[in-house]
Amino acid sequence: MKFKKKTIKILIALTIVLGSGFVFFSAFELNKPTQKEVRVSLPSKPVLLPKQFGLHVDSFNVHKKTVARNQFLSNILEEHAIDRSAIAKIVEKSKSVFNVRKISAGNPYTIFTYKNDPQRAAYFIYQPNPVDYIVFDLRDSMRVYTGKKDVTKKTETLASSINHSLYDALQKNGGDPLLAMQLAEIYGWAIDFYAINKDDWFKIQYEREYVDGKPIGPGKIQSAIFSHKGKELQAYYFQPDSTTKGGFYDEEGNSVKRAFLKAPLKFSRITSRYTNRRLHPVQKVWKAHLGTDYAAPSGTPIIATGSGTVVESAFTKYNGNYVKIKHNGTYTTQYLHMSRRAVKRGQNIQQGQVIGYVGSTGLATGPHVCYRFWKNGKQVDALKQNFHETIPLSEEFLAQFKSSIIAKQQLLASLKLDDNDDLLAASTQANELEEKTAF
């Protein structure tokens, strides 16, 4: 009996202990802090507000205009609620940055006006060219500073046969006709651009600059092939290093530059060639014409076909204004009928330098230049002279040059010519160099 009572007491005690433990642990679980869901807010991507000239356009009304004739900074700003004292102050501040008198008709400008006062200008921005701009801050700070637009450079290509003229071929294929001037400078020693054949063709690779998606300038030719009278002439621009002047070289590394250019004008037309018998247009008698006549508008620049020293710069009854240049012990050239001369006797001049301007002085019926050429004291036909002397790259740069033109040669070779009369030749854009620079 005692044993049973003792057992019962033990069981009761055990039950109490276990129950207490259960309550304890249950309470512990109940009191345990619940895990809450934590939301981490990541920083949002910053919103890029649109800018023009480094200014947030959403903060202002933006007005784009063009400088009109007889329009100046003062009357532009007066139209936008800037009084004369403020104008005088901003002009004074601009003196060390930009001369406001150089604001020219036809150039663009932009006015930023306040949202709450649409007539009043906060900024005036003038663009003298597509890249540079001048900011006139008209707020209380009153300051003037300059900036530059981003310039994107692209490498473009163009290929065409010539069915009418070089200018026409370039223009109809989307190229700037001014590229013709560069081709004339590159190949002036070898090609008579006044006698381009219908079967001639060209392929060029050139670097062009863009601002706001629009091209600025014709671009700079980097490599070219010109086929003239069935002969293909290659030219690649190469600058060995930053201390050496760059130039154009053929595929063997020889300079394309020669002692003499083919003609004293960039573009014109031959009206009379070298001959021993010609009916003189003024005197109406048959006589020799020991020169080549190039017709061009009056005032067209005449360039020296080779480097040398001016031995004569004068006026005579028949020659009109003329210049004579001695190039060395073998060659001398003369340029007649100028409207005016640009060099003096004894002056040293360089190939391609302007020495005068086309006119019709002396015995002439219209504006042209008569180009004469002496070899060993005897007048000869300039167009029949061949000058093969050239300056090759030095050995230290030759391997570098040949390596640099491989890709250019492959690119030019891949360009296709279209021989139809519409001249819709292959015009492609390649190797876009999205190289943005402050220029």
Q: ∠ at Cα 409 (246, 439), nearest 5°? A: 45
The pLDDT of residue 230 is above 50: yes
Give counts: helices (H), strands (E), the chain. Answer: 7, 26
Q: Tell me the β-bridge partners of 427.
A: 158
Helix (H) or strand (E) holding 18: helix 2-31
CB within 8 Å of 392: residues ≥ 6 apart? 252, 253, 254, 255, 398
Same CATH fold, 152-258+390-437 and 51-148?
Answer: yes
Give the class (CATH, top level) of 152-258+390-437.
alpha beta
Burial of 344 (0-12, 13-18, 19+ CB in 10 A): exposed
The DSSP output letter for 61 is E
Q: Collapsing DSSP states into helix, strand and coil, what is residue 269?
A: strand
CATH number for the domain formed by residue range(s) 51-148: 3.10.450.350
- CB of 401 closer than 8 Å to CB of 356: no
Handedness of CA 317, 378, 281, 265 (dihedral sign): negative
DSSP secondary structure letters along 321-377: EEEEEE-SSSEEEEEEEEEEE---TT-EE-TT-EEEEEB--SS-SSSEEEEEEEETT
Distance CA 92, CA 200 (A): 58
User: pLDDT per residue over 145-203, tens digit each?
Assistant: 999 999 999 999 999 999 888 888 898 888 888 899 899 889 888 887 767 877 899 99
The helix/strand/coil state of 73 is helix
Of 68-77, 157-166, 387-396, the range with the lowest mean pLDDT is 387-396
Per-residue pLDDT of 12-67, as tens digits, reads 555 554 554 544 444 444 445 555 555 555 555 665 668 899 998 888 999 999 99
Amino acid at site 271:
T
Structural domain boundaries in the chain: 51-148, 152-258+390-437, 269-384
Model's pTM, two decimal places? Answer: 0.65
pLDDT for 328-354, tens place per residue? Answer: 888 999 999 999 999 999 999 999 999
Strand partners, 214: 211
Tracing tokens 């001014």 back to the chain, one arrives at 178
Q: List Cα–Cα distances, 138 to 59, 77, 95, 287, in angstroms.
A: 15, 10, 15, 73
In this structure, what token pair is assigned to residue 10?
């033990």
Q: What percentage of the chain exceeds 70 in pLDDT?
A: 79
Q: Give pLDDT, residue 72.
A: 94
Q: 319: which residues sit within 8 A by CB, 6+ positions away?
A: 336, 337, 362, 363
pLDDT higher than 70, residue 8: no
**Is residue 282 a contact partner of residue 333, using CB atoms and an 8 Å limit?**
no
Per-residue pLDDT for 76 more than 60? Answer: yes
- With a cut of 90, say whether residue 426 has pLDDT above it: no
pLDDT: which is higher, 292 or 226 = 226
Rounded Cα–Cα distance for residues 227 and 388 (Å): 18
CA atoms 358, 359, 360, 365: torsion sign = positive
CATH class of 269-384: mainly beta
Question: Cα–Cα distance between 41 and 334 in angstroms, integer?
Answer: 83
pLDDT for 335 = 97
Per the model's pLDDT, the better-predicted residue between 291 and 104 turns out to be 104
